[in-house]
Amino acid sequence: MRETAVIRLAIVGLVFLVVGCASRPYEQDYQKRVADYRGQAVFATLSNDPTEFAGGRLRLRLPSILGLPQEDDGTKIRARPPFVRDFPGYAAAYEKLLAMNTTQLPAVLTVGVVPAAERRHGDVERAILEQVRRDEAFPKADWERGKSVEPVAGGPAMWDVLSLSGQQEFESVVAGNPEYKRWPGRCEIWVSADPKQEACTVLALRVPDDVANQLPVPVAEMIELVARTVEPVAAPAEEPAVEAPAN
Between 36 and 148, the more confident residue is: 148
- Output the pTM of the full model: 0.79
Say yes or no to pLDDT of 6 above 80. no
pLDDT in tens, 104-148: 999 999 999 999 999 999 999 999 999 999 999 999 999 999 999
**Percentage, residues of the chain above pLDDT 70:** 76
The alpha carbon of 208 is separated from its chain's Cα centroid by a whole number of angstroms, namely 19
Write down the pLDDT at residue 31: 46
State residue 173's pLDDT score: 87
Residue 126, CB half-sphere, CA atoms under 13 Å: how many? 5
d(CA 8, CA 189): 69
Higher model confidence: residue 113 or residue 23? 113
- In whole angstroms, what is the distance from residue 14 CA to residue 17 CA? 5
| CA dist., res. 197 & res. 201, Å (int) | 10
In terms of pLDDT, which residue wins out, 101 or 14?
101
Question: Which one is the CATH code of 51-232: 3.30.1120, 3.40.50, 3.40.1000, 3.40.1620?
Answer: 3.40.1000
Mean pLDDT, the chain, rounded, equals 84
Classify the phi-psi angles of 101: left when phi > 0, otherwise alpha if psi is within -120 to 50, otherwise beta: left
| pLDDT tens figures, 150-197 | 999 899 999 999 999 999 999 888 888 888 889 999 999 999 999 989
What are the domain boundaries of the chain?
Answer: 1-42, 51-232
Phi–psi pair at 123, nearest 5 degrees: -70, -40
Beta bridge partners of 99: 104
CB 128 within 8 A of CB 189: yes
How many residues belong to the chain?
247
pLDDT at 27: 53
